[in-house]
Amino acid sequence: MTQVSSSVDHVRGELETINPRSAQLFTQSAGALEAIMSPGELVSWAGICLEIAGSGWHAFESANAYMALSMPMATKQGVSALADCGLYGFRLCGFSFEPSATYFRGIQHLLDEDMLDERQQHLEAAGKTLRESFTHASNLVTDYYRVAFTVANHNSEPETKRWCKLVEEVSILERADVISFLNASEAAAGVNWSFVQTLNLVSIAAGIDFLDRYPRLVTLFEVDVLAQLEQTVLTFAGDPATLSDWLDKLEVATAELSPAEKRTVIEVSHGLPLAVLATSLLEVVDRLPLTRPQIIHHWSRQVHDYLPDRIDVACGYLGLESLTSIKALEHLLGQVNFADCKRILQLYTEAIVGRRLSVEPIDKVLPDFRALPSTDGLSIHLPASIAVYPDRRHNFDLYKISLLHQLGYYEFGTFDFAGPDGSPTTAAFRYHFSKYRYPELAAGLFQLLEDARVDWAIARRYRGAESLLARFKQDALENLPPALDSIAGNALLALTYLSLDAGVPPGFPLDCVAALRREITRLDSAHSDVHVTMEVVRACYDIIMTAASAASLDDPESIASADAEAETGKAPIESPMPEPIEFRGRLEPDRVRINMHLAQIEEPEVEFSDTEPDGVSMTSMVDPRDIKIEQLKKGEVQEALGMMITDLDGRGIDEALADKADDNAETFKGLIKSSANDRHELSFQYDEWDTVILDYRRLWCTLYEIRDIDEKPEFVEDTLRELRSVSSSVRKQLSHLRPELLRKIKGMEDGEELDLERAIESRIDQRAGLSPSERIYIQRQRKDRDVSALFLLDMSASTDDRITLPQDETTVAPVSHDHDDFLHDYYGSELVVDDRKRIIELEKEAVVLMADALEDLGDNYAVCGFSGYGRDKVDFYVCKDFTEPYNTRAKGRIGGIKPCRSTRMGPAIRHATRRLNATESRVKALIIISDGYPQDFDYGKDRNSKDYGIKDTTMALTEARQQGVQAFCLTVDPSGHDYLREMCPDQQYMVIQDINQLPDELSKVYRSLTA
């Protein structure tokens, strides 16, 4: 036995005691290595093996890994490299066996893949640095080697080197951060490490965050988009928190977008300097026309007008919060909004059909819901906006044609169909279709054929609309599918082609096209009406059924399925209807007939009023809410109820009719009534000024004009009786006001001018010997006062507080009731026995005294109050309108004013201004009486900030002034100076110290405003 073999045997023996498997491995490896190693090298190698195996608990696992890689490594890299590797691994054993085992396995893997090069040195160097930073972190070091070899496996040598550099950089961080980094690195092994290195220079946290998300991002974005995203991340990395927020939202917001749309989002974000801006953009991603990137780019570029200083404004712009932004986008899109052209469409409707059909927007648009035009007999519903085409005119034309088509149903007698004898009046269509074996197919055919007939009739009667129709028909054709997979479906599709004045495409899988064409052509005639359509429905239905049964003879399976479907009443088709054509919309003829029928039962009194604030609110429409059901005849109730119930639960008519007895009239009334809101509420929408984004928020507030107020008529009389002396002083004050308008009165005995005509006549009479008239002068008399005044009372809950007189020592801190008015409602009136007046009472008294005096003066005035809760519910109470006499009802309503909720002043002032403008008076005065600064729970994002409300109110007052309304604010809030100074010029507000002076001051204010 040589010395060598004895050394090797010794090691084997030692290993045997440690782990038999190791000894076995050692024997094999040593046998192999013998051939390429010198005896000395072999002894040295054996020594290393033993050292490793003996270095601690389970260290044999490391030794095993080393021995496993020994032969290939010695062969490929040389013996000395193997020895170095072994020594490096041995040093790792100082922690535990795991780091070294992981290390050896990693080396082995690289060897197997022929990737063992400088990467090894980089890994070892970085590993060394890490070990020096974390001297007792075995798991961390193990993780490092595991991740390091994963990274090395996925990356080139230079990339690996970059990663290793990164490791050296992060090794100064906390242990948890290093672990995060390592974990993220492992998942993001294929990332661009050079980018991460750069990112780390800006923010290590951002780098880790990015790595963490990388696996998800890589599935979301295409490679080139990802590269742009990386650049964007780099831009935003200065603020890792907002970057993280943006990336969170980005992942969610873009999940459902198409690759092109994602690209647009990233491109736009790339141009932004801050993550917070890009986040605002993401919040409205569903409202942006991402399929039209040029528009988005153009629109988003304008945000740079606000950068770098006005970040909030820029956020408001990108978040489509500001009016400027919305308008800019709409302008670029060529979007037409229903609200902007409602009146034109309304007038157009009335002109075409000659009856008051209201035109309303379809505003509750759910995702995946197509906002298709439709009518219900009382109104026509159109999409809230159209931006299908790039230019506004084209989009408006789509509105026009959609509307004309709906009107065509009325004009060309679609709803004249009476049905066969015995049809229920209000369900003639459904009854008629129920006679078919497949009612759905018959109904589908009817909609399609009637649409075709109406379009042809329109084209014949309105030659100007003909070309428009042709254009939209052409567009509709482009969206039709080539073919469906059922005979009935294809027949309907073929009819759709024919109805759009196009031929059926060549090779269309249907044999009966010629027969269908022959039938549908009958509708393109001046003599066709809805009854002809019904005949054509019958004929087409029969053609389809014949074709279907011929096909099913060839295919036994389809017979079985057709029979099964016949039992369920469904048409033997899988996709029954081609999608409705956009401009034709949906047709529900029975619904229209019900409403038309109900409207005929009692036509309400129609009045055309010039004082309608909007000119378009359809107060004189036949509104279902106006229909009183008391006079329904029994039979009618039965029919209508049947229809109603069928609508509600989807059961058959016959069943429903049979079930319902006459005593259900009450139920029916209930149904109608419950669907009707308070008939006196008109709603208006107003923009609101946002001082943060420095722009208006469009149509932000909804204001309801309410006239139904609990009346308390005795209040006015009581007040006048109680305050007789004040009343007379107010009257005296106002009596000093003089009419200011001059009017020429002819035929006066004296005056400033000579009435030439009369003077000559008189002279002639004198000559002719007749007695001349002496009334030959013109006088200028002050006859008119052209004044309209609106008193706007703050009805917020705080006006329920008792007044505090300056001499009162027991000042009670004012409580804001805005937040807990339910408590207030409950306890309010009985809390304390206190004979001091409430602020609201004083406000009311002051107005009562003014109203009394103004009646004498003859000025036009209105008394209104405002309150509300939130931007969607601003209440504007009209106690006495301009045109309304000051009668018991008006007095009752003034008396009935009571404190409610918040003080959102802006919309109330805007509405008051609108009402004043409608009077067209020369002098328009708005007098606001309040008890505190404007506030509401959502008046600005920061609830504690008064600034938003004050600024909005300031803006509303400025708007009023610009429109020629003189506004004046009176407040009883002692701190009023602070904000009123900001809201109005000095001469236009007054803080009343002694609230009892309110009536007196009010009359003075009125004098100064209107004199």
Partner 1 sequence: MSNIEVKKNSGYGLDDAPYYLPVADEVEIFLAAYEQRLPVLQKGPTGCGKTRFVESMAYRLYRGDKTTRDRSRVDNPLQTVACHEDLSATDLVGRFLLQGDETVWQDGPLTRAVKEGAICYLDEIVEARKDSTVLIHSLTDHRRILPIEKQGTILDAHDNFLLVISYNPGYQNVLKDLKPSTRQRFVAIDFDYPALPQEAEVIAHESGVDLDAAMELARLAQKVRQLKHHGFDEGVSTRLLIYAGQLIASGVAPIRACDVAICRAVSDDHDVQRAIEELVTTIFPGG
**Which residue, 9 or 466, is less far from partner 1 as judged by CB?**
466
Residue with smaller CB distance to partner 1, 352 or 970: 352
Beta carbon of residue 768, minimum distance to partner 1 (angstroms, whole number): 5
Distance CA 181, CA 187 (A): 10
C-beta of 131 vs 758, nearer to partner 1: 758
- Cβ closest to partner 1, residue 67 vs residue 352: 352
Nearer to partner 1, 351 or 832 (CB): 351
Alpha-helical (H) ranges within 334-380 are: 338-353
Our CB check for partner 1 shows the closer of 382 and 793 to be 382
CA-wise closest residue to 995 among 797, 807, 783: 807
Rounded to a whole number of angstroms, the minimum distance from the CB of residue 924 to partner 1 is 21
Name the residue nearer to partner 1 (CB basis): 45 or 399. Answer: 399
Of 27, 33, 28, 29, nearest to 12 by C-alpha is 27
| Least spacing, CB of residue 373 vs partner 1, in Å | 16
Q: Provide, rounded to whole angstroms, the least separation between the CB of residue 349 and partner 1.
A: 9
> Using CA atoms, how far apart are residues 232 and 221, in angstroms rounded to an integer?
14
- Token couple for 35: 């051939």
Q: Are 533 and 449 in contact (CB under 8 A)?
A: yes
Beta strands in 280-418 (DSSP E): 336-337, 358-362, 374-375, 379-383, 385-386
CB 609, min distance to partner 1, A? 10
Beta bridge partners of 685: 702
What beta strand segments (E) does 720-807 contain? 741-748, 753-754, 777-784, 787-794
Rounded to a whole number of angstroms, the minimum distance from the CB of residue 584 to partner 1 is 17
> Distances in Å between the alpha carbon of 988 and those of 954, 970, 971?
12, 9, 11
Q: Checking DSSP bridges between strand 682-690 and strand 787-794, what pairing results, if any?
A: unpaired
β-bridge pairing 753-754 and 777-784:
antiparallel
Count other Cβ atoms within 10 Å, centred on residue 616. 14
Nearer to partner 1, 614 or 750 (CB): 614
Instruction: For the CB of residue 398, give the shortest distance to partner 1 in the complex, in Å.
Output: 13
Residue ranges binding partner 1 (CB under 8 A): 343-345, 347-348, 350-354, 400, 404, 461-467, 608, 615, 757, 761, 763-765, 767-768, 770
Question: What's the CA gap between 794 and 933, in Å, rounded?
Answer: 10
Residue 465 or 850: which CB sits closer to partner 1? Answer: 465
The nearer residue to partner 1, 117 or 761, going by C-beta atoms, is 761
Q: How many C-beta atoms lie closer than 10 Å to residue 396's C-beta?
A: 18
Cα 636 vs. chain centroid, distance in angstroms?
42
Token pair 């509300």 in the structure block, residue: 868
How many Å apart are CA 362 and CA 33, to the nearest integer?
84
The total number of residues written for the chain in this structure: 1011
Tell me whether residue 290 or residue 352 sits nearer to partner 1 (CB atom). Answer: 352
Shortest separation between residue 468's beta carbon and partner 1, angstroms: 8
* Dihedral sign from CA coordinates of 812, 818, 823, 828: positive
Smallest separation (angstroms) from partner 1 to the CB of 405: 12
CB of 771 to partner 1, least distance (A): 11
Q: How far is the CB of 571 from partner 1 (least distance, A)?
A: 37
Least Cβ distance, residue 461 to partner 1 (angstroms) = 8
Toward partner 1, which CB reaches closer, 350 or 440? 350
Give the strand order in the sheet containing 777-784.
741-748, 777-784, 753-754
Cβ-based nearer residue to partner 1, 463 or 736: 463
Closest CB 680 distance from partner 1, rounded Å: 22
Asked whether the beta carbons of 531 and 417 are under 8 A apart, the reply is yes
Contacts of 838 (CB under 8 A, 6+ apart): 799, 800, 801, 802, 803, 899
Q: Which is nearer to partner 1, 308 or 464 (CB)?
A: 464
The least CB distance from residue 357 to partner 1, in Å, is: 11
Angle, helix 157-170 to helix 175-187, in steps of 10 degrees: 160
- Report, in Å, the least distance between residue 557 CB and partner 1: 52
State in angstroms the smallest separation of the CB of 698 from partner 1: 20
Q: What is the 3-state secondary structure (H, E, C) of 927-994?
A: EEEECCCCECCCCCCCCCCCHHHHHHHHHHHHHHHHCCEEEEEEECCCCHHHHHHHHCCHHHEEECCC
* Cα distance between residue 634 and residue 660, in whole Å: 11
Contact 990, 716 (CB under 8 A): no
SS (H, E, C) 663-693: HHHHHHHHHHHHHCCCCCCEEEEEEEEECCC
The nearest distance, CB 621 to partner 1, in angstroms, is 12
Nearer to partner 1, 570 or 746 (CB): 746
Before 308, cis peptide (omega within 30)?
A: yes
Q: List the end-to-end C-alpha distance of the chain, in Å, as a whole number.
A: 132
Question: Nearer Cβ to partner 1, position 464 or 507?
Answer: 464
**CA neighbor of 531 nearest in space, from 444, 453, 435, 590:** 453
No. of helices (H) and no. of strands (E), the chain: 42, 16
Tell me the sheet residues that pair with 865.
793, 877
Q: Which is nearer to partner 1, 81 or 353 (CB)?
A: 353
The bridge status of strand 385-386 relative to strand 923-930 is unpaired
Given the complex with partner 1, which of 514 and 764 has the nearer CB atom? 764
